Amino acid sequence: MPKLIHLKNKCINCGLCVSLASKFFKIEKDGTVSLKNGKEVKKNRFELEINQKDVEKLKEVVESCPANAIKLE
Q: Where are the domains of the chain?
A: 3-72
Q: Which CATH code is given to the segment(s) 3-72?
A: 3.30.70.20
- C-alpha span between 62 and 18 (Å, rounded): 12
Give the gyration radius of the chain's Cα atoms.
11
Q: pTM for the full model?
A: 0.95
Amino acid at 70: I
Average pLDDT over residues 24-49: 98
| Cα–Cα separations (whole angstroms), residue 70 to 23, 42 | 15, 15
pLDDT-derived band at 19 (thresholds 50, 70, 90) equals very high
**Torsion on CA atoms 31, 33, 36, 39, rounded to nearest 10:** -110
